[in-house]
Amino acid sequence: MTPSEVIKYAEKNGAKMIDCKFSDFPGVWQHITYPIHRLTDEAFEEGFGFDGSSIRGWKAIDSSDMLMLPDPSTAIMDPFLSVPTISLVCDVVDPTTREPYGRDPRYIAKKAEKYVKSTGIADTIYFGPEAEFFVFDSVRFDAQTNSAFYEVDSIEGRWNSGKEEGGKNLGYKPAYKGGYFPVAPTDTLTDIRSEMVLLMEQVGIEIETHHHEVATAGQCEIDMKFTTLTKMADQLMMYKYIVKNVAKKHGKTATFMPKPLYGDNGSGMHCHQSLWKGGKPLFAGDQYAGLSEMALHYIGGVLKHARSICALANPGTNSYRRLTPGFEAPVNLAYSARNRSAAVRIPMYSPSPKAKRLEFRTPDPSCNPYMAFAAMMLAGLDGIEKKIHPGEPLDKDIYALSPEELKDVPHVPGSLDEALDALRKDHEYLLRGDVFTADVIDTWLDYKQTKEVDVVRLRPHPVEFGLYYDC
């Protein structure tokens, strides 16, 4: 839509408010709401001012004035607010220079798409993430000087199989690692997921399927059809918004936290990706698994830089509780056709060249998609430009390999600390085309170290009391 079309769209739908959204540095939507009379043609050029000093990882208080410029192509009617409200995703600019703000994640994604065109290698990069999440019935957590705890619960939780529920228990609790994917009454969330899907399609997100995932206690997945990098990042933000709000509407709570449960599968976000040029797919060919040489080099780049990509695609301390052997998490950096235990898989569902793609299985949905997608793309392009071959495929169950067989297979970092260290040492590829800047990387490293790694490191863990209290 154009600005004038957005105004007509708002009038047609009786909008009374404008909700302007943007992503903060870690990847959570923020918003400010304005009366509808402020929606004018000029607003799309002049923007809306706000104070950026309280936005995580952004400006200092002495230089905090910023502007949001609404993107008219993102206009939708908010599906949850009782007051009719038009929602717009915004880009953030400096009010003095009118230049895009360097730490705006959406700007980084836009630069990534511009860069791929400038290389002449391709003109389009497609992403199709599979974001998993849990829908719980309750969550409680706290951390004080003298105490710390968390507790999640779900009517589906296997741990509730012996609990009295209103004087009885009807059973049908998915087993640990047994949620993929029995019908109702074991799957209690089909209607809720369907409602999420209908709302996603209502706001323009094309959905392919939805289902229960492997873990007990309400793990789910809804799959979006692939689209271009920035648009998909926008869609993933809306996807999270819809999932959380539909869950809340039903008295439940949804989380994209990678590992909320001990002893069962965590939530990943397998990222399908492919390059196209002139409307033609570039990853189909006559090499391994029907790939082109370009696709193999792209894989080579992703695997070479995977440890530093993890600092952006698996950006929390909790991410590395998922990235452990034995829970379908791809900890070994190898590639294979069909084999889901490899970090990079080549799906073999269709022989069509248009379907030829790679699936990077390491990321999780706690990431900032604008930055994570850009990092994966830049790693792949580095592989193409430097002709990095990924080596021989590993067409075996990697989890069943002996230590001797595994010793030469690289693996993902074991902690956020390790991932940040990998990013410190390996980030030149991210600076190509000024997609990421040194300021963005330094700020990310500092924020993650001081606000997350150090905070978690300093706290006693409840399990430590069982291990050491009587020492």
- Told to judge if 195 belongs to the known catalytic residues of this protein, a careful annotator would answer no
Q: What DSSP element (H or E) covers 109?
A: helix 105-119
- Told to judge if 213 belongs to the known catalytic residues of this protein, a careful annotator would answer yes
- For 361, residues 6+ apart whose C-beta sits below 8 A from its C-beta are 268, 270, 271, 330, 340, 342, 343, 344, 345
- Are 123 and 116 a contacting pair, CB within 8 Å? yes
Q: What DSSP element (H or E) covers 395?
A: none
List the catalytic residue out of 19, 132, 137, 187: 132
> In a 3-state reduction of DSSP, which class is residue 125?
strand
List the catalytic residue out of 221, 264, 328, 382: 221
- Are 268 and 258 a contacting pair, CB within 8 Å? yes
- Told to judge if 359 belongs to the known catalytic residues of this protein, a careful annotator would answer yes
List the catalytic residue out of 24, 234, 359, 364: 359
List the catalytic residue out of 78, 104, 213, 382: 213
Tokens describing residue 226? 């692939």
List the catalytic residue out of 103, 321, 361, 427: 361
- For 70, residues 6+ apart whose C-beta sits below 8 A from its C-beta are 6, 18, 20, 43, 44, 47, 48, 88, 89, 90
- Told to judge if 457 belongs to the known catalytic residues of this protein, a careful annotator would answer no
- Told to judge if 340 belongs to the known catalytic residues of this protein, a careful annotator would answer yes
List the catalytic residue out of 42, 46, 51, 65: 51
CA 387 to mean position of chain CA atoms: 28
| C-alpha span between 306 and 326 (Å, rounded) | 20
- For 8, residues 6+ apart whose C-beta sits below 8 A from its C-beta are none
| C-alpha span between 50 and 22 (Å, rounded) | 11
List the catalytic residue out of 24, 104, 113, 130: 130
- Told to judge if 270 belongs to the known catalytic residues of this protein, a careful annotator would answer yes
List the catalytic residue out of 106, 158, 212, 270: 270
Q: Which residues are catalytic?
A: 51, 130, 132, 213, 221, 270, 340, 359, 361
